[in-house]
Amino acid sequence: MEVSFSNEARMLRRGHGETFHGEGILAITKALLQSGVAYVGGYQGAPVSHLLDVLVQSKDYLDELGVHVEACSNEASAAAMLGASIHYPLRGAVTWKSIVGTNVAADALSNLASPGVTGGALIVVGEDYGEGASVIQERTYAFALKSSLLLLDPRPDLARMVRIVEEAFLLSEASNMPAMLQLRIRACHVRGSFACSDNVAPPMSAKHLLDDPAAFDYARLAHPPVTFRHEKLKSSERLPAARRHIVDNGLNETFGGTRADLGIVVQGGLYNSLVRALQQFGLADEFGTGAVPILCLNVVYPLAPDQIRDFCAGKNAVLVVEEGQPEFIEQEILATLRRQSVATAIAGKDVLPMAGEYTVEALARGLAAFLDRHAPDLPLHAGRAWLAATDARRDAVAEELGAPLPPRPPNFCIGCPERPVFAALKLAQQDVGRVHVAADIGCHSFASFEPFSIGHSILGYGMSLASRAGVSPMMRRRTLAVMGDGGFWHNGLLTGVSSALFNRDDAVLLIFKNGYTSATGTQEILSTPTDAVKEASTQKQESLVHTNQTIERTLQGIGVRWIRVVDSYDVNEMRRTLDDAFTADFAGLKVIIAEGECQLERQRRVKPWRTGLLKRGKRVVRVKYGVDEDTCSGDHSCIRLSGCPTLSVKASPDPLKVDPVATVLDGCVGCGLCGENAHAASLCPSFYRAEVVQNPGWHERLLASVRRAVTQSRPAT
């Protein structure tokens, strides 16, 4: 990738006596090194992509430490990597986006958790939940429960998050359980500071290699009959050991309060929001201390029954603040207290929302309901007034706006190579009729938004081809599956292509070969053009993905007989190829590879290159498209076929025309789609392509001046 994390990498080197400044996810990364991890792996995905990005770019430093870093092909391979900690006292960490990544990793996770680990194993999951989330809203907690994994949910304070990571390894080793650490989106991006300690070079590492493999030990295999014993061990030894460690080392925190009859049990990650909610009612000061005692669970699984009992016993009522569904923690607390015959009333999802992010407002409304019931004496008017005012203000604004604001979903980048393909697909459906489109995870899923509104289902990353296997046999017309090369390498090759081939499916697969997993931050994959090729290219704006044929060769290798590679910007050719795929006699799997390098990466190459040339007074050609305002009739069909951020509308300068006309804004990268569409869809003659030559040669200037003399000689009519 072209993005540089050199500053972040420098932060990682800081040691004792220095202070770290930066984002939460980078603090976690630093904590891994302070914990002496020997190996790190993972699969990119917001909000944890940076963990891997930064480490991959810090290779030199990690080599010094002897830490091995691996960008895994998917979460399953990342989880399996932790197998190293089963036999060997190696600390390892992997990371991915949850819930989806955890789903993919589930098989390896179960087989890791069953024998358990010797060296501390930590999985840093980005809990992609609530505002800004891009995946289905489920909790990672269920996996911790079913596989007996430790689950940590630290209070979002950098120093605390770092300490909890360090503790997680100790806890994992004390209980032989793999640990998961969940970070919500805002916690990953929270910017703060903490006092560093030195990074620890692992005793056994890529530098200090193991001499011999471990002795054969059947008990460490996830294989019957020992799996039966493993299950018993989980409840008889590992969980109890974990609970002891959690209590003995004070991993969970209690914050005192004046009202001994009340209490709140909260997931660590929600602590700050809870404090702010309490402040709305004047029940906490700026340091979080106030009326209601709080038990802050930095470890949310397992819970320590004694700790729960000790906190709740003698109180009238305790509120459990637990985000998402179902309410695992609340249920366990209820069961714990019932078993120990503690009569304290427990509130939770009965006053707080079952689903959705716990914003300060949501928490405040829940608190109000809880305190009404159990501490009516507390003065809540201030908070109530604030909530009422908020409701009133929202109604007023809705009233004043008159109409709902149009949404602003994410969109393909300016000049994205995927946009033209959906324009072609829209046109192809005019030729062959409507088509069932199995969509996938990746930038191309933005085609589900306006102006394309394309895609019938999304079943997971790389799952599109597999997800139409039941549809095609039921449909008269052929179906289409779209997939990025990210999805292809993550999962699509096996779950989709091999299955379709084996079953001799009559299917059409379109692969976006843009060279990166762009939606996660343009990380590199098997089909990424090499650095050598990028160096060698003389025109930095040109797409280089054609230089990497791995996907084509792989498909041929496993027996795909119908493969077409099309320049993704060539709308006409793509339309023809799609028509062909939908109508061809060939009944097997047909694969169309749309070739066009991710524009984000190209622009990151182009900008410095172009500035350099201009500085040196060298010739530079800049391409921009435009619309002639006097021939544009303001129908906007061009926009309905593009949706490019730089193809917009403006008030028509013609006083006769009431509708706005199309216009191309600054920022157009000259990808060519406007012209392609104008021809492919016979739109209108308003589009022009302008090539601006900066620092032209003398002969160029001469020719241009002659031309100008001729072309502009005509008197204005």
Partner 1 sequence: MTSATQPITVLISALGGQGGGVLAEWLVDVAREAGYAAQSTSIPGVAQRTGATTYYVEVHPVPVAALGGRAPVLSLLPVPGGIDLFVASELMEAARSVQTGMASAERTFVVASTSRTLTTTEKMAQGDGRFASDRLQDVLRRHSRRLAAFDMEGAARDAGTVVSAVMFGAIAGSGVLPFARDAYEAAIRASGLGVDASLAGFALGWAAVQAEDRPPAAAATEPPAVAPSSPATAAFPAAARDIVDIGYARQIDYQDVAYADLYLRRLDRILAAERAVDPAASHGHALTRETARFLALWMAFDDIVRVADLKCRASRYVRVRREVAATDGDVVRIVDYFKPGAAEFAALLPAALARRVVAWDRRRQLCGKGPFALALHVRADGMFGHATLRTLASLRWLRRRGSRYAAEQAAIERWLAAIEAAARDDWTCAHELALCGRLIKGYGATNDRGKDNLAHIVDHLAAGGAFAGAVERAAAIRDAREAALADEGGVALDRMLAQHQVPPRAVRPQPIVWTKRRPAPSAPSGRG
Sole binder of partner 1 in the list 60, 400, 531, 535 (CB under 8 A): 400
Strands 457-458 and 437-439: parallel
Site for partner 1 in 694-713 (CB under 8 A): 694-696, 700-701, 704, 707-708, 710-713
Q: Which residue has the tokens 């999802």?
A: 349
Sole binder of partner 1 in the list 4, 236, 390, 530 (CB under 8 A): 390
Sole binder of partner 1 in the list 64, 217, 285, 372 (CB under 8 A): 285
Q: Judged by CB, which is closer to partner 1: 145, or 639?
A: 639
Pick from 281, 575, 558, 254: which is nearest to 427 by CA?
Answer: 575
Q: Work out how close the CB of 146 gets to partner 1 at its nearest, in angstroms, rounded to a whole number.
A: 28
Question: How many other CB atoms are there within 10 angstroms of residue 6's CB atom?
Answer: 9
Q: Judged by CB, which is closer to partner 1: 63, or 450?
A: 450
Sole binder of partner 1 in the list 70, 450, 567, 573 (CB under 8 A): 450
**Residues 23-52, mask of contacts with partner 1 (x by CB under 8 A):** -----------------------x------
Q: Any residues with CB less than 8 A from the CB of 12 and at least 6 apart, and which?
A: 26, 29, 30, 33, 54, 58, 61, 199
Q: Work out how close the CB of 140 gets to partner 1 at its nearest, in angstroms, rounded to a whole number.
A: 19
Pick from 245, 318, 321, 253: which is nearest to 288 by CA?
Answer: 253
- Contact status: 273 vs partner 1 (CB under 8 A): yes
Sole binder of partner 1 in the list 161, 168, 414, 482 (CB under 8 A): 414
- Contact status: 6 vs partner 1 (CB under 8 A): no
Beta strands in 492-635 (DSSP E): 507-513, 516-517, 523-524, 562-567, 589-595, 620-627
What are the distances in angstroms from CA 365 to CA 158, 380, 389, 390, 489?
28, 11, 13, 12, 46
- Contact status: 240 vs partner 1 (CB under 8 A): no
Burial (CB count <10 Å: 0-12, 13-18, 19+), residue 325: middle
Half-sphere exposure of 118 (CA within 13 A, CB side): 12
- Contact status: 386 vs partner 1 (CB under 8 A): yes
Q: Work out how close the CB of 282 gets to partner 1 at its nearest, in angstroms, rounded to a whole number.
A: 4
Compute and round to an integer the Cα radius of gyration of the chain.
30
Q: Which residue has the tokens 């066009």?
A: 596
**Residues 558-587, mask of contacts with partner 1 (x by CB under 8 A):** ---------------------x--xx---x
Site for partner 1 in 646-675 (CB under 8 A): 647-651, 653-660, 664, 666, 675
- Contact status: 359 vs partner 1 (CB under 8 A): yes
Q: Judged by CB, which is closer to partner 1: 86, or 632?
A: 632
Strands 19-23 and 457-458: unpaired
Strands 150-152 and 179-184: parallel
**Residues 178-217, mask of contacts with partner 1 (x by CB under 8 A):** -------xxx-xxxxx------------------------
Site for partner 1 in 150-169 (CB under 8 A): 156-157
Sole binder of partner 1 in the list 146, 208, 339, 679 (CB under 8 A): 679
- What the block records as the tokens of 175 is 């209980």
Pick from 104, 85, 91: which is nearest to 33 by CA?
Answer: 91
Q: Work out how close the CB of 494 gets to partner 1 at its nearest, in angstroms, rounded to a whole number.
A: 15
Q: Work out how close the CB of 115 gets to partner 1 at its nearest, in angstroms, rounded to a whole number.
A: 29
Piece of 223-231, 488-496, 557-565, 634-642 that binds partner 1 (CB under 8 A): 634-642
Site for partner 1 in 604-623 (CB under 8 A): 622
Site for partner 1 in 250-269 (CB under 8 A): none
> Are the C-beta atoms of 94 and 80 separated by less than 8 Å?
no
Beta strands in 78-138 (DSSP E): 92-98, 121-127
Sole binder of partner 1 in the list 18, 107, 231, 635 (CB under 8 A): 635
Sole binder of partner 1 in the list 267, 520, 541, 548 (CB under 8 A): 520
Rounded CA-CA distance 445/458 in Å is 8
Q: Judged by CB, which is closer to partner 1: 203, or 473?
A: 473
- Beta bridge mates, 121: 92
Site for partner 1 in 465-484 (CB under 8 A): 472-473, 475-478
Q: Any residues with CB less than 8 A from the CB of 248 and at least 6 apart, and which?
A: none
Cα–Cα–Cα angle for 160, 162, 168, rounded to 5 degrees: 100
Sole binder of partner 1 in the list 271, 328, 461, 489 (CB under 8 A): 271
Sole binder of partner 1 in the list 443, 465, 493, 673 (CB under 8 A): 443
Number of residues in contact with partner 1 under rule CB under 8 A: 150
Q: Work out how close the CB of 1 gets to partner 1 at its nearest, in angstroms, rounded to a whole number.
A: 10
Measured over the CA atoms of residue 693, residue 698, residue 700 and residue 703, the dihedral's sign is positive
Beta strands in 268-405 (DSSP E): 294-297, 299-301, 317-321, 345-347
The size of the chain, in residues, is 717
- Contact status: 411 vs partner 1 (CB under 8 A): yes
Sole binder of partner 1 in the list 228, 401, 532, 535 (CB under 8 A): 401
Sole binder of partner 1 in the list 16, 21, 146, 561 (CB under 8 A): 21
- What the block records as the tokens of 43 is 């699969």
- Contact status: 407 vs partner 1 (CB under 8 A): yes
Site for partner 1 in 360-379 (CB under 8 A): 360-361, 379
Q: Which residue has the tokens 């809880």?
A: 370
- Contact status: 425 vs partner 1 (CB under 8 A): no
- Contact status: 554 vs partner 1 (CB under 8 A): no
Piece of 69-77, 90-98, 230-238, 430-438 that binds partner 1 (CB under 8 A): 430-438
Rounded CA-CA distance 106/180 in Å is 13
